[in-house]
Amino acid sequence: MAPAFLKDFRRRSKASFRTDKTERSTDSSNGTINGSVPAAKSTSTLDSGSNTPPTLLHSSSASNLQVLGDKLGRPTIATAQNNRYSVSGMSGLGFPSPNIKSTLPTSQYAPRILSISENTWVYQKVLLIYGTVADPVTQALDGNLTVSRLDDGFPPTYWPVSESHFKALVYLSPGPNRLRFDFTSPKLANSNTSNPIHSSYMTLHMLPPLSAPPLQLVILLGKDSPGTFDAVPARIEKEGNDLESAIKKFRMAAYLWQAFTAEQMFRNKLGRRVFRMEEEWVSGTSNYRDRETGTMRSEAKIHVVRSSKTVSEIRDLDLAQQNPNAKRNGELFQIASEAVKDHFKPMPGQKQYVSVLLLDAHWDKTAKTITGHAALGGGGGDIQLAIFGSQALQSYPSSLEEVVPAFTDCTPTDTEYVANDCNESGSNWEAANIGIGAHLHETGHLFGCPHQESGVMLRDYVTFNRSFTTREPYSTRTKSKGGLVLQKDECGWHRLDCLRFRSHPCFRLPTDPPLNPDDTVQVWPVENSILVTAATGVSYLEIFTDDDELCHTWQEFGDGNGNGPVQRQVILTEQDLRNRLPEDKRKSRLKVIVKAFGGGSHEIADFALLASKASRTRLPGGQLAFRGSKLGMSQMEGSQAEEVIFHSTIEQTKLLVQVKVYHGFALDGIEFIYEDTTSQLFGKRGGTPGGSDFNLDTRRGEYITGFYVRAGFWIDGIQILTSLGRKSPIFGNAIGGSGHTLIPPRGYGVAGISGSCAAWVDGFSIIITR
């Protein structure tokens, strides 16, 4: 027979276990046991049919064993000295285990993180933070900040504190990251012991944005390349200049891009959104300990791609930025594009975003130029591409431990072996700025950013180091001795770049709501203004005058995330736009570029012309009609303007029953056929003999409500949209040009079409009326 106390044990309810555990865990007045935080309480219930106490399911700590021992009537196990077995406790008298928070009062010198708050969610692996120690105004302290994980999943990293300011990079893993920040200074007590007391704690959550397309990182080599890059002998001896070293350095540079961009987006109040990078499970390279122990991590993947060209063929292209007379400028970009396409083999419509490091770039000290290098970004079709040479790669950090040393290394550039790029890389830290920053500039072009009046897309990346250090060393570029650098001294992305990124598919977050698949923007002149419509919402306008090469004036609209509601229809007036310009530019011709949240864009080359009487026509009954903004360039040889006002719009008795579309590889013409067999032709009867028919269901009152148009230089294809929600096939080239949905704004209907035709249709717009 079982002992009596076991019967009593079986009769106890599950609730009693939870109750007793709670009572036991709160016996101490400060809620801790020997200065340790107790195990987290579980609020979950047991699985069906399970009789295992929750304490055994969730924890095997000494405190839980003590509770269970009391229930069984066994002697209580004393736990007062249980920390003597801790390995971390052996490192110094009284030194707490790194995974246990101290209950001592917070020191006034504990680091204060200013850039991010407790329990924030972020979306990248390496996070840039900044903060202060004490009050920098009254007590400027120098020292060191130690950043460590409570689970020791990543080794501690050390960052300088200058005049009570610090900046640091934190390596994050998916899920919760419990971090500890310790400040030490020779001016403060207890700094030289193994038990620092100036500590603060923070938990951050990282969620990889796997629903967004990645930025692919590629190292491109000639087919016979040895896989080395330019470096001085001392560097080669210390860290090597082979392909393995190049991969580590390029990966770290990409992490710096990511950390910098995420922080800039947050400062611009656009959320902590940033591009992601494809990752692979490899031996970790972001810290020294991983390399020594062979620890595996998910790190940014660097694709190594060999070109079909030899190293000498690549270098003979002589595309260095320092050589403005290069006759084959752009050819290296094409070579890189072809190699990348062959490597990734994108399917039609599967866009790839690729940033390429040209490893075979080489400093020719005789010709005093960099061969095999080009700084270009952009592209089209299925490949958006940025390329940049490896001439400054030796100066890049290869791990977090090397970031501050890399950006404070004043070693002069030895032009016997490496380039002083643009004469702005006179020292190692300045070379790192030019290499990492200028490559980021080209990656900005890859994401669609033009040059700007300031920021990375100008040339502010020469101060890229300031985002990661608190003190700048002597600069050979400015001949200045440097000093403390704070947030106001840093470079950044221009506001317009950040607005572009907000709408870019690579910057979408898992928390973003789904977008309407129609990403286009349409512009409609109406009675006294211009109506802009976008199914995904209007993001912002760029306003240019005649002599503007860069955008200096813009107007923003709400995004639904605390910056105002999303606006899918916006009214623009010429006077309002002119009032936004400086006084001396208000009489200039206005060019307006409208951007949508879905990424679509529409350019109004002459706003005044579009808003003028030239965009209006009067129907036979006296009613006004308006020509929408035109697609296509209308610049083919022999192009002639054409216009069709539907008979059914003018005469209510006329019934449109059929549309016949003439097409081949482009749109040749459209014929509108009525019930009385009369018709109207826009364009020509070319392409496939007889054209393609689309019939309207007149018994149900079906009529045309708009068109979906594929257009570029000319009109590639067209699809008819009806009031019953039906869509015709796309007649013509269904993947040519870019897609545009032409549906009149609220309160207006389709009255006809307008445009131009040469050998085929090269201009198209719809005419709307109330």
Q: Where are the alpha helices (DSSP H) in 561-701?
A: 574-579, 607-611, 647-650
Report which of 146, 157, 143 is spatially closest to residue 186, judged by C-alpha positions. 143
**Crossing angle of helices 62-72/14-25, nearest 10°?**
120
Q: Is 550 helix (H, G, I), strand (E, B) or coil?
A: coil
Give the pair of three-digit tokens for residue 248.
Answer: 């580590």
Specify the DSSP class assigned to residue 88.
G
Dist CA 369 CA 367 (whole Å) = 5
169 and 127 Cβ atoms separated by less than 8 Å: yes
**CA distances in angstroms from 307 to 304, 310, 312, 627, listed in the order given:** 10, 7, 12, 50
Q: How many CA atoms lie within 13 A of 534 on its CB side?
A: 27
Pairing of strands 165-171, 731-732: unpaired
Active site residue 637: no
Dist CA 133 CA 41 (whole Å) = 34
Dist CA 392 CA 422 (whole Å) = 12
Dist CA 715 CA 241 (whole Å) = 51
455 and 260 Cβ atoms separated by less than 8 Å: no
625 and 616 Cβ atoms separated by less than 8 Å: yes
The gap between the terminal CA atoms of the chain, to the nearest Å, is 93
Specify the DSSP class assigned to residue 336.
H
533 and 520 Cβ atoms separated by less than 8 Å: no
- Which strand (E) or helix (H) includes residue 68? helix 62-72
The secondary structure of 290-357, three-state, reads HHHHCCEEEEECEEEEECCCCHHHHHHCCCCCCCCCCCCCCHHHHHHHHHHHHHHCCCCCCCEEEEEE
Dist CA 73 CA 67 (whole Å) = 10
Report which of 366, 193, 401, 213 is spatially closest to residue 289, judged by C-alpha positions. 401
Q: Which of 442, 542, 642, 671 is catalytic?
A: 442
Question: Which amino acid type is present at position 554?
Answer: W
Could you count the other beta carbons within 10 Å of the beta carbon of residue 718? 26
288 burial level (CB within 10 Å; 0-12, 13-18, 19+): middle
Report which of 537, 543, 744 is spatially closest to residue 629, judged by C-alpha positions. 744
Dist CA 31 CA 645 (whole Å) = 81
Q: Is 625 helix (H, G, I), strand (E, B) or coil?
A: strand
Catalytic residues: 442
